[in-house]
Amino acid sequence: MQVYRLPALSDNYVFLLHDPVNNVAAVVDPAEAAPVLQQLRKLGASLIAIFNTHHHGDHVGGNTELLQHFPEAIVYGGAEDKGRIPGQQVFLQEGDRVSFGDRTAEIFFVPGHTRAHIAYYFPPTNSDEPGDLFCGDTLFAGGCGRLFEGTPSQMVNSLGKLRHLPDNTRVWCAHEYTLKNLQFALIVDSQNADLQTRLAEVQAARHRSEATVPSLLGVEKRTNPFLRWDDPALKKVVKTEDEIQAFSRLRGMKDHF
């Protein structure tokens, strides 16, 4: 399975999954149809699946147009999003599996950003390869999504599920927010040498107009404060020993950053 990262809108990424053996494709969170159709033409491939993580317009905005071009494509989304995702035909729950090419993804129910958010995790086919996590707006490189429909407790539980995945998992998050996320992270985690190094690398990459997605989950575990809500140093910064409250205060600080 080949993954193509397609820029869309102002700062979105759409991910096109390509099975070169059968020359078919799937797309994750098509914010708009045009970049997807352009890549499909380059590959000469047919679209057979749309994998949505949640209902927001910058993740499903291309569904209807893509279905006009590929009416046989199957639209997947979370069961709790029924009625909110254009063209949805499959309603996924925690522990369900979906297959594409030679890979099978496990579904994680990860509410917080929305009440119905899901993530797709494709484990590696062998130990020498990374897994692939398509997490929408739940986990970002250096950050996490805002809590629009969920609670801090839900988001901690959701991020906890993702935090347990292997370190070499590639994190395909849906926005280029990394630089600002890490600038905030350094405020609350100023003594983190790994974070300092990462921020410098991301600053250089963005200066060259390079994408910072995907990141690696192992890097996120060391440098993303929203995967480290239980770290004593961070709890000291936000002045609480309660882990949910610590996360909530971190998220509140980021909302006003």
**pLDDT of amino acid 252:** 96
59 is catalytic: yes
56 is catalytic: yes
Q: Of 122-131, 132-141, 156-165, 172-181, give the lowest mean pLDDT range.
A: 122-131
- Provide the pLDDT for residue 34: 98
The one catalytic residue among 55, 81, 96, 113 = 113
Is there a catalytic annotation at residue 55? no
| Catalytic position from the list 56, 117, 132, 189 | 56
Three-state DSSP string of 94-118 = CCCEEEECCEEEEEEECCCCCCCCE
Q: Which of 54, 81, 117, 189 is catalytic?
A: 54
Q: Which of 58, 81, 132, 189 is catalytic?
A: 58
Token pair, residue 112, equals 């917080």
Where do the domains of the chain lie? 2-255
Q: Which of 42-51, 127-136, 156-165, 172-181 has the lowest mean pLDDT?
A: 127-136
Fold of 2-255: Metallo-beta-lactamase; Chain A (3.60.15)
Report whether pLDDT(165) > 80: yes
Q: Tell me the backbone φ, ψ of residue 168, rounded to 5 degrees.
A: -90, 15
Q: Quick check: is 137 catalytic?
A: yes
Whether 14 and 35 have beta carbons less than 8 Å apart is answered as yes
Specify the pLDDT at position 200. Answer: 97
DSSP3 helix / strand / coil % (the chain, rounded to 5): 35, 25, 40
**59-115 residue pLDDT tens:** 999 999 999 999 999 999 999 999 999 999 999 999 999 999 999 999 999 999 999
Helices (H) and strands (E) counted in the chain, each on its own, are 9, 14
Query: Is residue 251 a contact partner of residue 181, using CB atoms and an 8 Å limit?
Result: no
Instruction: Round the average pLDDT of the chain to a whole number and report it.
Output: 97
By CB atoms closer than 10 A (0-12, 13-18, 19+), residue 209 is: exposed
Catalytic choice (29, 59, 81, 132): 59
Q: Is the confidence at residue 128, as pLDDT, over 90?
A: no
Which pLDDT does position 112 carry in this prediction? 97
Q: Is 102 a catalytic residue?
A: no
Cis peptide before 214 (omega within 30 of 0): yes
Residue 127 has pLDDT above 80, yes or no: no
